[in-house]
């Protein structure tokens, strides 16, 4: 995928809800937000040309404040598309946060020397993102080569597709990857589509192979009904029935590229509880599964 010329400025995004609230359920110890971003300051970490959006500054202290406010002990920072393969902002945040955070970078891992891999692994990097949802991400043609290098490194592949139908198109290639595959946004299915949509069924089949994980995240992108995103429940529950032990949850803080009302992160956790009403299921998704996938110590 290549950058398309941009003739108008990238649209600006609103900041997150400044008053995140505690969810209505008891947060388990060691709970983890597995999908978030940090941005800025823009003067220190300039954004790429041709980007799809322009985020406000959303620095590490603000993110850690959100985690504290809602009762999350851990987090995973994912490289946003506005920085392309310049991971400096993410790496600086990992260094400053110590062992509380892990990271997913965006870079061709075949270009990483072993010393850099060792350094980044010590910082907390555990995966590489392949972003098919915007221009400029790692090209799908390189999937197998990237997978082989990630197997050598011991990291996973984090994938966001442009549409759920894409999963069916490339399912065989994804199945054969030699590394754990983490699929963002519940596969990018949309509210109003059926659970038996072929692309979503292909995702469920991938879950059956034991090497695929899915993020229960981005309900506001998936939903077409709007808050409280009730039309996302069938997808989340179908995923939980298929492989509860390979699901993780993500806030997508500070919620860039949001079209619609800005959610409160406590409400997003309560949405998770509506999908997974049993405490044992939330323990798996919020604590046990992230610890295994991202290498956090036992809570």
Encoding tokens for residue 84?
């392309």
114 catalytic per annotation: no
What is the rounded CA–CA span in Å between residue 299 and residue 46?
36
DSSP code per residue over 222-268: H-SS-TT-GGGHHHHHHHHHHHGGGEEE---BT-TT--SSPPPHHHH
Report the chain's terminal Cα–Cα distance, integer Å. 40
What is the rounded CA–CA span in Å between residue 210 and residue 221?
27
DSSP code per residue over 102-149: EEEE-S-GGG--HHHHHHHHHHTEEEEEEE-SSTTS--GGGHHHHHHH
191, 126, 198, 199: which is closest to 162 by C-alpha?
199
Q: Are 39 and 89 in contact (CB under 8 A)?
A: yes
Q: Are 287 and 218 in contact (CB under 8 A)?
A: no
Residue with the two structure tokens 């597709």: 161
Residues in CB range of 120: below 8 A, 6 or more apart: 91, 103, 105, 112
Please provide residue 112's backbone torsions phi and psi, each rounded to the nearest 5 degrees. -90, 125
43 to 40, 158, 189, 214: CA distances (angstroms) = 7, 28, 36, 35
Q: Of the listed 33, 73, 252, 288, which one is catalytic?
A: 252
Catalytic residues: 252
């Amino acid at each position: 995928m290549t950058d398309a010329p941009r003739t108008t400025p990238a649209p600006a995004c609103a900041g997150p809800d400044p008053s995140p609230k505690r969810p209505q359920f008891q947060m388990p110890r060691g709970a983890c937000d597995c999908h978030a971003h940090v941005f800025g300051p823009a003067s220190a970490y300039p954004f790429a040309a041709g980007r799809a959006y322009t985020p406000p500054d959303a620095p590490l202290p603000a993110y850690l404040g959100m985690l504290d406010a809602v009762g999350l002990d851990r987090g995973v920072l994912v490289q946003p598309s506005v920085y392309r393969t310049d991971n400096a902002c993410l790496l600086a945040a990992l260094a400053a946060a110590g062992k509380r955070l892990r990271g997913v970078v965006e870079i061709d891992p075949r270009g990483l020397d072993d010393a850099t891999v060792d350094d980044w692994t010590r910082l907390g990097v555990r995966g590489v993102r392949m972003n098919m949802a915007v221009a400029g991400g790692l090209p799908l043609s390189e999937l197998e080569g990237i997978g082989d290098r990630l197997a050598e490194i011991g990291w996973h592949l984090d994938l966001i597709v442009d549409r759920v139908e894409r999963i069916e198109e490339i399912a065989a290639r994804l199945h054969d990857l030699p590394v754990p595959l983490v699929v963002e946004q519940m596969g990018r299915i949309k509210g109003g589509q059926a659970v038996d949509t072929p692309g979503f069924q292909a995702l469920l089949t991938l879950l059956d192979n034991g090497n695929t994980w899915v993020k229960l995240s981005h309900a506001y992108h998936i939903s077409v009904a709007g808050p409280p995103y009730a039309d996302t429940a069938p997808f989340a529950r179908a995923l939980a029935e298929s492989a509860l032990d390979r699901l993780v949850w993500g806030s997508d803080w500070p919620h860039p590229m949001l079209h619609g009302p800005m959610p409160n992160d406590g409400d997003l956790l309560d949405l998770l509880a509506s999908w997974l009403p049993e405490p044992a299921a939330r323990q798996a998704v919020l604590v046990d599964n992230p610890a295994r996938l991202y290498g956090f110590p036992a809570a």
